[in-house]
Amino acid sequence: MKIYMFPNLDKANCYEYTRDAAKILSENGAEVYLSEAYSQTFSELGYISFADEDDFIPECDMIIAVGGDGTILKCSKKAAVHNKPILGINCGRLGFMASLEHSQLSLLEKLLKGEYLLSKRMMLDVKVSSDGEDTRYTALNDVIVAKSDDCKIADFSVSKNDKLISSLRADGVILSTATGATAYSMSAGGPIIEPDMECIEFTQICAHSLFARTMILSAESNVTVQCSTAQGCHVWVNVDGTNVMKLSDGDKVYVSRSRYYVYIIDIAGGSFFASINKKLMQPLKGTEEDNL
């Protein structure tokens, strides 16, 4: 079995977690590969090989992301395009997708025996139309269209299948998958959704209204967001935590179900609701780290 690892070395303890996980995998017969960019960092470990990710991912059996949910987000598109499942090893605080902790690394033996479950996660196709040009992205968590710091407030219209469903003045809007429901959308007042459900969640950010409520739309919805700002103001499009484009008045963002899916590996056997109770109902670990 060939396994490609994505470590986020900006995370505390990530080097040790990657080293220990790779050793266990190698001892159980797996071939472990990292990007050639890490060849100096892990050069002393004889059980790790190095390969270009674009060349090797199509050939590997699965991907292991070591860091947090943000690390999974960064490699999710390549995993989806090549239909490779992802296992997350958590170095962050929450880690709803990256559910394996360092104390559970011995469970990696199950990975090589095929003793695990797969959770199929819907993704979003994002098309941004600005200045007559279209740019496309893919999101696993969410798409956020929100005002920049040079705007006091902005107006947004949200349509489903070309029919207006909301016209609002707000800081922005969030369109998320069920996987992304426990991210920004939840912090903005949205509900928690079982992550393998297929839907599009529409949540308003600080809407100037007494009756702003989240809407759950069908997975077949084609959602359009159009912004209206004062002259000189802008709106940002953020895809899975990264600002990808600045919009001007009248630009549009189109969001629909992607043809790609991400498959998340669970070998620890913990339910989603147990994770919610453990990670949201109790103090977070390592508060000096960020959530991802």
CATH number at residue 46: 3.40.50.10330
Overall number of domains in the chain: 2
Sole residue written with tokens 């007559």: 132
Beta strands in 51-176 (DSSP E): 62-67, 86-90, 117-130, 133-139, 142-147, 154-160, 163-170, 172-176
**Each residue's pLDDT tens digit, 165-184:** 999 999 999 999 999 999 99
Give mean pLDDT, residues 101-122: 93
CB count in 10 Å sphere of residue 164: 11
Q: Which residue out of 61, 69, 150, 251 is catalytically annotated?
A: 69
**Residue 291 within any structural domain of the chain:** no
Look at residue 282 and tell me whether its pLDDT is greater than 70. Answer: no
Kindly state whether residues 127 and 248 are assigned to the same domain. yes
CATH number at residue 234: 2.60.200.30
pLDDT at 92 over 80: no
Quick check: is 155 in a domain? yes
Return d(Cα 149, Cα 288) in angstroms, integer.
Answer: 26
290 located within any domain: no
Going from the C-alpha of 124 to that of each of 95, 188, 223, 227, 262, the distances in angstroms are 21, 20, 11, 20, 11
Residue 25 has pLDDT above 50, yes or no: yes
Structure tokens at 17: 């977690």
Of residues 203 and 287, more confidence is placed in 203
| Distance of alpha carbon 54 from alpha carbon 32, whole angstroms | 16
Assess if residue 38 is contained within a domain.
Answer: yes
Kindly indicate the confidence band of residue 284, based on its pLDDT and cuts at 50, 70 and 90.
low
Decide if 36 is inside a domain.
yes
The pLDDT tens digits for 113-161 are 999 999 999 999 999 998 889 999 999 999 999 998 878 888 999 999 9
Residue 144 and residue 184 in contact, taking contact as beta carbons nearer than 8 Å: yes
Q: 285 in a domain, yes or no?
A: no
pTM: 0.90
Asked whether residue 28 is domain-assigned, the answer is yes
Residues 101, 127, single domain; the answer is: no
Please determine, for residue 54, whether its predicted confidence score (pLDDT) is greater than 70.
yes
Q: Is 84 exposed, middle or buried (0-12, 13-18, 19+ CB in 10 A)?
A: buried
- Claim to verify: residue 137 and residue 164 sit in the same structural domain: yes
Is 61 an active-site residue?
no
Q: What is the pLDDT of residue 180?
A: 96
In percent, the amount of the chain with pLDDT more than 70 equals 94
| Cα dihedral across residues 226, 228, 231, 233: positive or negative | negative
What mean pLDDT is predicted for residues 39-59?
Answer: 93
- Tell me: pLDDT of 289 over 50: no
Same domain membership, residue 253 and residue 132: yes
* Mean pLDDT on 84-98: 85
pLDDT score recorded for residue 285: 53
**pLDDT score of 292:** 45
Whether residues 151 and 243 fall in one domain: yes
Clarify whether residues 190 and 275 are in a common domain. Answer: no
Q: Is the pLDDT of residue 246 over 80?
A: yes
Size of the chain, expressed as the number of residues it contains: 292
More confident site: 282 or 238: 238
pLDDT 10s digits, 187-239: 999 999 999 999 999 999 999 988 889 999 999 999 999 998 877 778 999 99
CB burial string 262-271: b at 16+ within 10 A, e below: bbbbbbbeee
Domain encompassing residue 17: 2-116+267-280
- Judged against a pLDDT cut of 80, whether residue 44 lies above it is answered with yes
274, 223: one domain: no
How many Å separate Cα 44 from the centre of its chain? 32
User: Could you tell me the two tokens for 96?
Assistant: 């709803």
Cα separation, 167 vs 147, in Å, equals 15
* Same domain, residue pair 137 and 232: yes
Total Cβ atoms within 10 A of residue 274: 12
**Do 44 and 165 belong to one domain?**
no
The β-bridge relationship of strands 48-50 and 223-228 is: unpaired
Statement to judge: residues 137 and 242 lie in one domain: yes
**Are residues 136 and 92 part of one domain?**
no
Kindly indicate the confidence band of residue 290, based on its pLDDT and cuts at 50, 70 and 90: very low
pLDDT > 50? residue 10: yes
Q: Is residue 134 part of a domain?
A: yes
Do 128 and 255 lie in one domain? The reply is yes
